[in-house]
Amino acid sequence: MRTKTLLLTAAVVAAGVASSMAQGTVFSVNAVGYVNTTMKPGFNLISNPLNAGADNTIPTLFKTAPFGTQVYRFHSTPTAGFDITTFDDLSGKWEAPGVPTLLTTPILPGTGLFVKNNVVPKADFTVTFVGEVPQGNLTTPLVKGLQIVSSQVPQEGKVSADLKYTGQAGDQLSKWDVTAQKFVTYGFDDLVNAWTLAGVANEPTIGVGESFFLSKNAAGTWSRTFDVNAQ
């Protein structure tokens, strides 16, 4: 689903005059909407596709999740691993023993998380993200090594052709197959300037609200300019 479709079905666009100057009138345009993300039984590799404003923390973003739901945030230092929080049925709160900052750190567009659906008996549940579509000059810093990233724009498409991530030599992109509960890993071949899967040209498609693991040989950025009115 492309962003235009998302906004037509799930957004309110508000335009207002920001300032009036000698060279003309400057307009400020905000696009606010919602995205419903389905959490399948087991692990789901998702993103926060919209900027919720003052509070993009896990307790706010996932306040309607069922008890027992777990959120895993990846960290690469001092060693690679996950910080984990659980929506506890006894306290009725998100609990993160030993890592209290997990509950206060904003989860912004461009990043990602594993969400584990532990509903018994197994069933889907939906998380609704509400907020503003990021616009303008957007930059996501990328570190050397492994990280979870996502498009800052709530747009479905090919990772390079549509979402404007320029692949680099040695890049490996791992999508999560939620049905099989395993990774599917693509590599970027700089000799043919294309993404490949099992040695065959195949550019991965990233969905709205989806994140992925990206491994890089060198630090870089994922930069693009986006204007909702230009779509």
Model pLDDT for residues 176-206, shown as the tens digit of each residue: 999 999 999 999 999 999 999 999 999 999 9
How high is the pLDDT of residue 30? 83
**CA 108/CA 133 separation, integer angstroms:** 11
The DSSP letter of residue 89 is: T
Q: Which two tokens stand for residue 198?
A: 């099992």
Model pLDDT for residues 70-128, shown as the tens digit of each residue: 999 999 988 999 999 999 999 999 999 999 999 999 999 999 999 999 999 999 999 99
**CA 65/CA 129 separation, integer angstroms:** 12
Structural domain includes residue 206: yes
The DSSP letter of residue 210 is: B
The reported pTM is 0.89
The DSSP letter of residue 51 is: B
Structural domain includes residue 5: no
Query: Which residue from 11, 16, 84 is spatially nearest to 49, judged by alpha carbons?
Result: 11
Looking at per-residue pLDDT, the higher value among 219 and 230 belongs to: 219
Reported as a pLDDT band with limits 50, 70 and 90, residue 27 is very low
Looking at per-residue pLDDT, the higher value among 230 and 12 belongs to: 230
Structural domain includes residue 20: no
**N-terminal to C-terminal alpha carbon distance within the chain:** 13
Query: Which residue from 50, 82, 75 is spatially nearest to 151, judged by alpha carbons?
Result: 50
CB 27, CB 10: distance < 8 Å: no
Q: Which two tokens stand for residue 24?
A: 């003309």
**CA 154/CA 132 separation, integer angstroms:** 10
The alpha-helical segments, DSSP class H, found in 52-141 are: 58-61
Rg (Cα) of the chain, in Å, rounded?
Answer: 19
Q: How many CA atoms lie within 13 A of 93 on its CB side?
A: 6
How high is the pLDDT of residue 8? 37
Q: Which domain covers residue 189, as residue numbers?
A: 34-231
How high is the pLDDT of residue 73? 98
In 3-state terms, what secondary structure has residue 141? strand
**CA 133/CA 227 separation, integer angstroms:** 10
Model pLDDT for residues 129-175, shown as the tens digit of each residue: 999 999 999 999 999 999 999 999 999 999 999 999 999 999 999 99
CB 188, CB 168: distance < 8 Å: yes
For residue 42, what are the β-bridge partners? Answer: 117
In 3-state terms, what secondary structure has residue 98? coil
Structural domain includes residue 165: yes
Structural domain includes residue 17: no
Structural domain includes residue 1: no
Reported as a pLDDT band with limits 50, 70 and 90, residue 29 is low
Structural domain includes residue 11: no
Give the mean model confidence (pLDDT) for residues 24-44: 80
How high is the pLDDT of residue 18? 31
Domain count, the chain: 1
CA distances to 22, 193, 194, 196 from 201, rounded to whole Å, are: 52, 10, 6, 4
Structural domain includes residue 142: yes
